[in-house]
Amino acid sequence: MPLDVAPAPHGRRSSLRVAVRLARRDIARHKGRSLLIILLIMVPVAGMTGAATLYQSSQRTPAEIVDYELGRTQARFSALPVPGADSLQDPLNDAMVASSTGRYDPDFKPADPRDVLPAGYQVLPQRQLQLTTGVGEALVALQGREVDALNPAFAGKFTLLDGRAPRGGAEVLASPGLMARFNLAFGQEITTSAGTFVPVGTIRDAGASDGNSFLYLQSRQVPANLGAGPQTHLSVSYYLVGPEPVNWDYIKDANSKGVAVLSRSVVLDPPPLEQRVVPGSQPHNDSSALLAVYATFGLVGALALLEVGLLAGAAFAVGAKQQVRELALLASSGAESPTIRAVVTAGGLWLGGIAVAAGAAVGLGAAAVVVHLVRLAGSVRLAGVHPDVPMTLAAAAMGLVACVIAALVPARQVSRQAVFGALKSGRAPAPTARRSTLAGAVALVAAAVLLLAGWVLGTSTSDPDQRAAELPLVVTILILGAVLGVAGLVMVTGWLVLSLTSRTQWMTLSLRMAARDSARNRGRSVPAVAAVLAAAALASAAMVLSASQQAGMRQSHWWGGLENQALLPLVVDPPTGAGGSRQPPVHVDASALSAAVAGALGTVEWSHPITAPESTRTCMDGQARPGLPARTSSSNCLQYSLALPEANACPRTPKGRLADPGDWRCRGSMALRSSYDGTVLVGGEKDIRAVLGRDATPEALAVLNAGGMVVTNPVFVSGGHVLLQAQDVRTHEAAVQGPGTVPSTVSSTPLAAAVLEPVVPVPYYGIVSPATAQRLDLHPEPAALLVQLAGAPSEAETDAASAAAASVYGLPGMTFRAEPGISQGSQWTTWVIVAVSALITFSAAGITTGLSMADARADHATLAGVGAAPRLRKTLAGSQALFTSGVGVVLGTLAGTVPAVLLALSTDLRTAVEVPWLHLSVLMAAVPLTGAALAWALTRARVPMSRRSLG
């Protein structure tokens, strides 16, 4: 009978079942190693799942919008600040203008929301009140709300947290933040500018944080003249209760009258995009900043998964070596190579499946706990638990793929081992590295091509709009190039280790032994170097991208003054009197204000009053009337600024993007601000030092004393002169650049100019001397008091300074605010990222070193057997960790820094690319040295007894 060598029916399926069963038994037998692999895969999956869930949880769903903002009402009507009738709001956000031509219509009269309310609804008003209360001798501001908060129609929006409902008289409700701020208990009185009240309960507004100071009053408790005036409608919102919905057409009509509407039916069923655009509106500046953030996370996430896969690969490699004998016995009994590979690969499937399931569960659970705690604390940062199913599935799929790939490499090596060689020696012969090295070289060439292609494509055009459209493709190419580059370096690691070993003659004995051991046992050294390489690439990429983002923030930060400098006005308007009458301005003594702030704060370095042209606060409201001058004895409507020469205008694209953010015309003081944001100062040398943060040059003083102007930005200078223009704020004309309008220019005066740029872009055009101000009839007056602090004030210090300032002003709402700057925060942020990155790299080095030491236990036993001293073995362990960590961190830093720089050059960060050399140097030095020290300290002097190996 002939021998039938045909494959048995369903044999492949049976062999897979055997492989899965053997893999499950091996996992149960080596619980420590299996748990390590599960944790390695689980942590990044949990992190990505939790991050995606928290991000989605910060975005309100339409159902949450109507619940938190409207309760059970149908709609909310409120004022919408628009320049004309051709504007439309966002359907989901009644405080945002989504589309507008920007043209100012002088004949446009915004309607009172009360006059636009449809008939047939019950109306529940809510009015915002600006109240004050006494704290010692000072008056501090708090917010009041005139609303029937416990009306059943507001269920979901307002919730009674503690206490009871008011029963009349002076009983009121308050927010938890107000009770904590003033250390109040139920039944205690609080005296405000609206009267004396007794809080009997705390209430939560689902749309505002509990930390805010709110006092909820009934209409009968609010004095009739409190806040009354012509602008009262701006602080009142009207909620409609009824069965009929308010549709989008009605909202568009209300928007044309200057009224915003948040409608339940429209939020739950928004209109199509084509109905949300006003004809002739300016296209939105859909900046690619958000895409740049996603690109950053994409690169970091890809490198993180690669690192995890390599760490798991190191663990699988050690496990596969320990399986050599049993797998060889399986092969000798007739198992084919695919079956041998399947045993190890099935372990990756088992462990990966458990890890991704646990990671997704842990990520979702942790995010849910965070959301619950945040909501319980009264914060509105997170609206609810919103799982991001696509991102969760993507993270799980990537984690499972990483785990399976991590198991494939050792599985392939084990399946190719000679059965009799494995049975004879119990140790696998080192596979040849020629093919791996060749593949790595090809991968490095491909990575270089991809990185170069991505950089060329990202910088091939100077049109920001086209660059933004190409950014997704550029980011994808660069991320693929980065991952392929790390993979190529991993594959050529064996060749690098051999090359370095041949050049270690000058090293100490322990380092020579460590290098030669790494070259001889590449099965354990290469995974260790590769894992540290991937971790260092992740860390360096994160540091470069973070440093570049911080540099971009420093460039785009809008400075209100020098860092830690506060500006306190010396002329303020008191509240509107009864019937809307305007009260005369209050002039504050600068010395008294300075003494009060210095007495409240111990960090005041100096204070200095500054002078400016007369303010427009006395300008009468309304349009300019024929024959009525812009300045009278009791009114001033003139605003001073510098004219921007047309040749020096910052170039922009049709979509409003900066054509070149690095252009000198787009940088510096007042370059991108409107004329309302800045002012012209009057003073001399001391004033220049106080406001600009630097001493005046002799040339600048000469121009100033000769009747010229010291200018903060050369963009306003043309031919050595600037044009000082006076504009009537009551008038409007079309802007030269972009949409909108600007005040009409009444007069223009050329002045000689000397440029003296400040240390940061402060909001000042420049400084003229008092004599020049008198000559130009600028009517200079004390404008503000500059207070320079030695450091950033704490919240308690800010409150103390605000109370001291309020006692001098005698007016509510006067708060103390110092310019925070961002340099200190960015520095600490970068160092925090360094610490986290170092921790990640330390963990990778520690895990791989531990796995290598476990695999090298027999070698250490051999050293002990031939008489090696414990000190030599401890030094050898430290040298091995130093060698693998050092090679890995140097290669990883290179592999992470280059793609990160190219990615920053291809996004909105291209003008702020910053490589943190100091932080990278600390990482490259600290990781190998710390890893070596830990390996030396944790290596036991006594070698544990081991069972004798057979064969």
Highest mean pLDDT among 33-47, 457-471, 640-654: 640-654
CA dihedral 842, 843, 845, 849 (to 10 degrees): 130
Q: Check whether 879 has a pLDDT greater than 70.
A: yes
Q: Check whether 216 has a pLDDT greater than 80.
A: yes
Q: What is the per-residue pLDDT across 378-420, written as a single tens digit (0 to 9) for each?
A: 887 788 888 888 878 877 887 787 777 767 766 666 666 535 4
Helices 31-57 and 337-376: angle between axes, nearest 10 degrees: 40
Q: What is the per-residue pLDDT across 711-758, written as a single tens digit (0 to 9) for each?
A: 999 999 998 999 999 988 887 776 666 556 678 888 899 999 999 999
The answer to whether the beta carbons of residues 41 and 352 sit under 8 Å apart is yes
The H or E element containing residue 77 is strand 75-79
List of residues 6+ apart from 192 with CB closer than 8 A: 131, 132, 133, 142, 144, 215
> Is the four-CA dihedral 845, 851, 852, 853 of positive or negative sign?
positive
- For residue 538, the model assigns a pLDDT of 77
- For residue 230, the model assigns a pLDDT of 44
Percent of the chain with pLDDT over 90: 21
Phi, psi (deg, nearest 5) at residue 821: 65, -175
Q: Pick the closest to residue 769 from 675, 839, 703 (CA basis).
A: 703
- For residue 298, the model assigns a pLDDT of 61
Phi, psi (deg, nearest 5) at residue 326: -70, -35
Q: What is the per-residue pLDDT across 532-568, written as a single tens digit (0 to 9) for each?
A: 787 788 778 878 877 787 777 777 778 888 889 999 9
What are the CA-CA distances from residue 174 to residues 177, 253, 444, 799, 944 (Å)? 8, 37, 65, 21, 69
What's the CA gap between 492 and 246, in Å, rounded?
67
pLDDT band at 649 (very low <50, low <70, confident <90, very high): confident
The answer to whether the beta carbons of residues 931 and 882 sit under 8 Å apart is yes
Report the range of poorest mean pLDDT among 131-135, 706-710, 753-757, 864-868. 864-868
**What is the arithmetic mean of pLDDT over 331-352?**
72
List of residues 6+ apart from 58 with CB closer than 8 A: 381, 382, 383
Highest mean pLDDT among 520-529, 741-750, 826-835: 741-750
Q: Check whether 1 has a pLDDT greater than 60.
A: no
What's the CA gap between 602 and 790, in Å, rounded?
9
Q: Pick the closest to residue 45 from 375, 399, 524 (CA basis).
A: 399
What's the CA gap between 436 and 527, in Å, rounded?
13
Q: What is the per-residue pLDDT across 59-114, written as a single tens digit (0 to 9) for each?
A: 889 999 999 999 999 999 999 888 788 888 999 988 888 887 777 777 788 888 99
Which one has a higher pLDDT value, 235 or 746?
746
Q: Pick the closest to residue 87 from 255, 218, 250 (CA basis).
A: 255
What average pLDDT is seen over the chain? 78
> What residues are paired with 234 via a beta bridge?
none
The answer to whether the beta carbons of residues 562 and 949 sit under 8 Å apart is no
Amino acid at 928: P
Classify strands 604-613 and 638-642 as parallel, antiparallel or unpaired. Answer: unpaired
Q: Can you tell me whether residue 730 is helix, strand or coil? A: strand
The answer to whether the beta carbons of residues 29 and 342 sit under 8 Å apart is no
pLDDT band at 817 (very low <50, low <70, confident <90, very high): confident
- For residue 428, the model assigns a pLDDT of 45
Q: Check whether 284 has a pLDDT greater than 60.
A: no
pLDDT band at 328 (very low <50, low <70, confident <90, very high): low
- For residue 514, the model assigns a pLDDT of 67
- For residue 716, the model assigns a pLDDT of 93
What's the CA gap between 459 and 462, in Å, rounded?
7
The CA-based angle 81-58-305, given to 5 degrees, is 135
- For residue 464, the model assigns a pLDDT of 67
What's the CA gap between 763 and 679, in Å, rounded?
7
What's the CA gap between 689 and 687, in Å, rounded?
5
- For residue 471, the model assigns a pLDDT of 73
Counting every residue written for the chain, the total comes to: 951
pLDDT band at 497 (very low <50, low <70, confident <90, very high): confident
> What residues are paired with 788 via a beta bridge?
565, 606
Q: Check whether 318 has a pLDDT greater than 80.
A: no
- DSSP code for 723: E
What's the CA gap between 778 and 640, in Å, rounded?
9
Amino acid at 316: F
> How many Å separate Cα 916 from the centre of its chain?
19
Token pair listed for 472? 């997704």
List of residues 6+ apart from 301 with CB closer than 8 A: 44, 48
Q: Can you tell me whether residue 564 is helix, strand or coil? A: coil
Strand segments (E) across 622-698: 638-642, 679-682
What's the CA gap between 488 and 511, in Å, rounded?
26
Q: Pick the closest to residue 192 from 133, 273, 252, 275 (CA basis).
A: 133
